[in-house]
């Protein structure tokens, strides 16, 4: 039975990564999936990619030899896009595959990746897009404002949506055997609940569900086998659920919160039996 491990939102924290590398040396899956927000704060990210991330994956590959897993990763909204090329380059020699806006295959399954999240209150907009329309929630900053480390054209800032991206990524493909590595969770679900429940801005209550409507509709309509998410660290604690089903599709938020690494063990044949492990 093909097995996958899923981790996300490690934010360059050495303790969490070291827990992951130690665990993998003793318990190795067929596929390792890393779901975005992988880098530390902006300064020093290039040194982190080459000096820490690549170095430790090289050591892991040498240790595991032929048992080294297929590694897929994406970036998240806290990862500056200026480091994307360094991440791709550092993954050479089959250390990992950067999966954003791509499809790949491993262990008999198709894997897709997608970095973008809907508009947030944060200033960095490299991996933010309008969701299904040019609407921005109260308290959030539109993708047309904020800061970018890589400039994009006006049309992309103003008009491109997550919905359009997902339509282009998958077209008419059959997704019953597909695993999606998203950073954004589906909107209004057990996986996107933030701690904004009692926040009011200009007399308007803030919506505590901060996931993507486009991702939600995509899951409902296309029914992929499995979707993996992060971004909202506190959601599992607040909703008391880290996994849900949408029709036949299994959806998981594996974001780490606190000082423990959250790792999800997934039997790809029966993903509804996934197990959450704290390390």
CATH code, 269: 3.60.21.10
Structural domains counted in the chain: 1
Q: Are 232 and 202 in contact (CB under 8 A)?
A: no
Q: How far does CA 209 lie from the centroid of its chain?
A: 17
User: Which residue reads 């409902």 in tokens?
Assistant: 220
201-205, 220-224, 252-256, range with the lowest pLDDT = 201-205
Say whether pLDDT at 29 is over 80.
Answer: yes
12 vs 120: CA distance, rounded Å: 21
Say whether pLDDT at 44 is over 70.
Answer: no
Say whether pLDDT at 257 is over 90.
Answer: no
* CA distances (Å), origin 9, targets 40, 45, 79, 231, 268: 10, 15, 10, 7, 22
More confident residue, 125 or 43: 125
Output the pLDDT for position 43: 64
Q: What beta strand segments (E) does the chain contain?
A: 3-7, 31-35, 70-74, 97-98, 103-106, 109-114, 178-182, 200-201, 204-205, 226-229, 243-246, 249-253, 262-267, 275-278
Per-residue pLDDT reduced to its tens digit, 186-216: 999 999 999 887 778 888 888 899 999 999 9
Q: What's the burial of 261, exposed, middle or buried (CB within 10 Å: 0-12/13-18/19+)?
A: buried
* CA distances (Å), origin 224, targets 38, 47, 49, 234: 25, 36, 31, 25
Query: Is the whole-model pTM more than 0.85?
Result: yes
- pLDDT level of residue 45 (50, 70, 90 thresholds): confident
9 vs 230: CA distance, rounded Å: 6
Residue range 20-49: mean pLDDT, rounded: 91
252 vs 117: CA distance, rounded Å: 16
Residue range 15-27: mean pLDDT, rounded: 96
Output the pLDDT for position 205: 84
Q: Are 271 and 250 in contact (CB under 8 A)?
A: yes
Say whether pLDDT at 138 is over 90.
Answer: no
Output the pLDDT for position 196: 81
Domain assignment of residue 208, given as a range:
3-278
Share of the chain above pLDDT 90, in %: 87
Query: How confident is the prediction for the chain on average, in pLDDT?
Result: 94
């Amino acid at each position: 039975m093909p097995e996958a491990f899923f981790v996300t939102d490690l934010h360059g924290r050495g303790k969490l990564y070291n827990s992951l590398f130690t665990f993998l040396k003793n318990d190795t899956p067929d596929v390792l999936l890393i779901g975005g927000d992988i880098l530390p704060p902006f300064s020093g990210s290039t040194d982190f990619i080459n000096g820490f991330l690549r170095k430790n994956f090289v050591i892991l590959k040498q240790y595991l030899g032929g048992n080294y897993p297929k590694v897929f990763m994406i970036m998240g909204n806290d990862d500056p896009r200026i480091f994307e090329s360094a991440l791709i380059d550092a993954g050479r020699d089959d250390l990992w595959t950067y999966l954003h806006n791509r499809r790949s295959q491993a262990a008999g399954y198709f894997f897709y990746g997608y970095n973008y999240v809907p508009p947030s209150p944060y200033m960095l907009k490299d991996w933010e897009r309008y969701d299904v329309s040019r609407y921005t929630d109260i308290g959030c900053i539109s993708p047309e404002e904020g800061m970018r480390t890589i400039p994009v054209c006006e049309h992309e800032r103003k008009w491109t949506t997550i919905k359009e991206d997902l339509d282009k990524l998958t077209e008419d493909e059959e997704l019953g055997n597909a695993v999606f590595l998203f950073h954004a969770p589906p909107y209004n679900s057990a996986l996107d609940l933030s701690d904004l429940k009692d926040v009011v801005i200009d007399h308007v209550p803030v919506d505590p569900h901060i996931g993507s409507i486009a991702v939600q509709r995509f899951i409902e309509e296309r029914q992929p086998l499995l979707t993996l998410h992060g971004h909202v660290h506190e959601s599992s604690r607040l909703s008391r659920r880290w996994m849900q089903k949408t029709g036949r599709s299994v959806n998981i938020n594996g974001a780490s919160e606190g000082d423990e690494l959250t790792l999800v063990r997934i039997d790809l044949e029966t993903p509804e039996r996934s197990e959450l492990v704290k390390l």
